[in-house]
Amino acid sequence: MLDMKIKRTGYLLIFLLLGLGQVQATQKDNYKITTVATDMGIPWAMAFVSNDTLLVTDRDGYLTQLDLTTGKKTDISGLPWDILSLGQGGLLDVALPPNYAKSAWIYFSYSKDIKGQGTTTLARAKLEGHTLIDWQDIFVSKSISRKYIHFAGRITFDDQGHVFLSIGDRGVRPNAQDLTNHAGSIIRLRHDGRVPTDNPFVGNDQILDEIWSYGHRNPQGLWFNARTQHLWSIEHGPRGGDEINLIQKGRNYGWPIISYGKEYMTPFAVGEGTHKEGMEQPIKVFTPSIAPSSLIQYQGDAFPNWKGNLLSGALKLRHLNRVVLDKNNQAIEEIRLLESLNARIRALIENTDGLLYLSTDDGKILRLEPNNE
């Protein structure tokens, strides 16, 4: 019996040592956390309208302007009446396009109430004082469902006048491979909602023109890097199998035919396996699930060791996730930060100085900055 215990302990040590090469919980980065605001509801997204002013969405259907200098919070009016704040739905992302200084348009995603069911919608409006004006629903997706989950809703922009929006499978797995609806896809539009003529499926009567990629489960992080021209996503798997993907035009990312996750109620894997011809492989898989939310590729100088790293929040495992990429965009290291906060990190954004602002599901806005003391 003693020999058996020694062997089992040895195997455990080997397993742990191997694991250290892949996932690190480290405090070697010298930083400090400041609480900027509290009582912000469920702050799903943030956007800078100036260096000192954030717009913050609350999933329950509220929009707040936050003065980072004084901490003053101001309610913004003018949101539509048909935001369906139920389950995972509600007022979701807020984002500014690269030409915001000229156009003044602010973009939103939300779950639109259509006879008690929700569908992911992309809208835009302008801010006049503390009121939104000229609200336009520029894209109402064909993703309606009686299930109030997997809306996705992240927005990002390229530098060629396009906006991307992620849409989850709405809790109906076959949706992600059914290209007659938008569920389980990433869509690409012009800023005014028109379909670009070079979208991959334009002219195919069997596929919706707006679709850029498909086979996604619930991609709650979406990021376009204008320097590299790469579009990144991070999405929830089922029980295990969260993924980081490098999104390419017209590609199929496999859900639910291939997956690295398992069924919730059984020990069986989801789908046919982890690989299939014609379906893309993720850059990074998280097993067990971290439940990722939001994604950026760090660009600043405040944390020079992080430049080019992919940063995301983790809702389930409650940390800030940092993934290091090599020159071929392969994930070579994962580092978990801020675990001591024990907070569901929902969204993150970088300011012009390279400082990070994080939102948490307990209603806080936090600032992460170097500790130079």
pLDDT digits (tens, 9 = 90+) for 133-180: 999 999 999 999 999 999 999 999 999 999 999 999 999 999 999 999
Average pLDDT over residues 188-200: 98
Q: Which two tokens stand for residue 237?
A: 């798997």
Q: What DSSP state is assigned to residue 273?
A: B
Q: Is the pLDDT of residue 292 over 90?
A: yes
Pairing of strands 319-325, 310-314: antiparallel
Percent of the chain beyond pLDDT 70?
92
Q: Is the pLDDT of residue 323 over 50?
A: yes
- pLDDT value of residue 165: 99
Chain centroid to Cα 69, Å, comes to 27
**What's the rounded Cα separation, in Å, for the pair 192 and 310?**
29
Q: Which two tokens stand for residue 258?
A: 């291939």
Average pLDDT over residues 30-53: 96
Average pLDDT over residues 82-111: 98
Question: If we measure between CA atoms, which residue out of 81, 82, 83, 62 comes closest to residue 73?
Answer: 62
Q: Is the pLDDT of residue 101 over 50?
A: yes
- pLDDT value of residue 44: 98
CATH number for the domain running over 26-370: 2.120.10.30
- pLDDT value of residue 266: 92
- pLDDT value of residue 20: 32
Average pLDDT over residues 188-208: 98
List 128's β-bridge partners, or say none.
131
To which residue do tokens 């954030």 refer? 54
- pLDDT value of residue 373: 67
- Which positions are catalytic? 150
As a whole number, the mean pLDDT across the chain is 93
To which residue do tokens 């064909």 refer? 142
Q: Is 164 helix (H, G, I), strand (E, B) or coil?
A: strand
pLDDT digits (tens, 9 = 90+) for 274-284: 999 999 999 99
User: If pLDDT is split at 50, 70 and 90, which confidence band does 16 have?
Assistant: very low
User: If pLDDT is split at 50, 70 and 90, which confidence band does 254 have?
Assistant: very high
- pLDDT value of residue 12: 34
Question: If we measure between CA atoms, which residue out of 142, 194, 193, 195 comes closest to residue 169?
Answer: 142
**What's the rounded Cα separation, in Å, for the pair 147 and 159?**
35
Q: Is 244 helix (H, G, I), strand (E, B) or coil?
A: strand
List, as own/partner pairs, every contact residues 95-101 make where C-beta atoms lie below 8 angstroms and the sequence separation is at least 24, other chains included: 95/45, 95/47, 95/155, 95/156, 95/157, 96/47, 96/48, 96/49, 97/157, 97/163, 97/191, 98/157, 98/159, 98/226, 99/191
Q: What are the structural domain ranges in the chain? A: 26-370
- pLDDT value of residue 30: 86
Question: If we measure between CA atoms, which residue out of 145, 146, 169, 165 comes closest to residue 156?
Answer: 165
Q: Is the pLDDT of residue 224 over 50?
A: yes
pLDDT digits (tens, 9 = 90+) for 328-373: 999 999 999 999 999 999 999 999 999 999 999 999 999 999 998 6
Pairing of strands 23-25, 331-337: parallel
Average pLDDT over residues 179-197: 98
